Copies of this chain bind each other. A is one copy, B any other.
Amino acid sequence: MDAASTLFYRDGINATGIDRVIARAGVAKASLYNNFAGKDELVAAYLERRLARVTRLLDEVEAAHPASRRVDAFLAHLERAAQRGTLRGCAFANAVVEVAADSPARAVIDRFYQRLERFFADALGVDVREPGVRQLVICYDGAMAIAAALRDPSVFTTARALADTVADAVVRGPRGE
């Protein structure tokens, strides 16, 4: 559901009622419940959509750039989105705050972080268990959170520099060579 995706991301999951979703989508309430068992599954479907979208983006970045340029290209893409004002933080990190621990959304969230770690690992040319991979995930999540909190797109410029530092440290070895 396109409408649900927009509203859940922009206004938050718990702050968006079913009525608002069906009104924006222009469908009947029964239609929604014919396709989704309930709001929990609608939320999971929303995150599934976001996952497909970010996966497509990461695939494109991987196809268009050599490994050493991918992280910067990814963060640059997020920076442009932030400058457009369409960024409201990471949809998956936000969902962690809003959904219950046993929600079907959790599985989608886990898959997102797995995909993200794989992207960073490939970009660094190391195993996913290398600390540098997790450091880039920290860099991503931190930048997204701050961009949302301070509404300051320039945090991505800082994040790109930080990611560069991480990449340098990885190639030079953990002890600075």
| Chain A interface residues (CB < 8 Å from chain B) | 12, 14-15, 89-90, 92-94, 96-98, 100, 109-110, 113, 131, 134-135, 137-146, 148-150, 155, 158-159, 161-162, 165-166, 168-169, 174, 176
State the CA gap A138–B75 with chains docked (Å).
Answer: 13
Residues from chain B with a CB closer than 8 A to the CB of A140 are 142
User: How many identical subunits does the complex contain?
Assistant: 2
Residues from chain B with a CB closer than 8 A to the CB of A159 are 135, 138
With A134-B155, A155-B134, A165-B169 as known contacts, state yes or no: A96 contacts B141, CB within 8 Å.
no
6 new A-B pairs (CB below 8 Å) besides A14-B15, A89-B97, A94-B97?
Answer: A110-B150, A113-B150, A135-B161, A137-B146, A138-B142, A138-B159
Query: Could you say which of B98, B135, B148 contacts A162, with CB atoms under 8 Å apart?
Result: B135
For the complex, would chain A's binding face be called helix, strand, loop or mixed by DSSP majority? helix
Residues from chain B with a CB closer than 8 A to the CB of A98 are 12, 14-15, 97-98
Query: Could you say which of B135, B149, B155, B168 contacts A92, with CB atoms under 8 Å apart?
Result: B149
Residues from chain B with a CB closer than 8 A to the CB of A146 are 113, 134, 137-138, 141
Among residues of B, the one whose C-beta sits closest to the C-beta of A161 is B131
List 30 contacting pairs A-B, 8 Å CB cutoff, sorted by A: A12-B14, A12-B97, A12-B98, A14-B15, A14-B98, A15-B98, A15-B100, A89-B97, A90-B145, A93-B145, A94-B97, A96-B145, A131-B161, A134-B146, A135-B161, A135-B165, A138-B158, A138-B159, A138-B162, A139-B139, A139-B142, A139-B162, A140-B142, A141-B142, A142-B142, A142-B143, A142-B145, A144-B145, A165-B166, A165-B169
Among residues of B, the one whose C-beta sits closest to the C-beta of A165 is B169
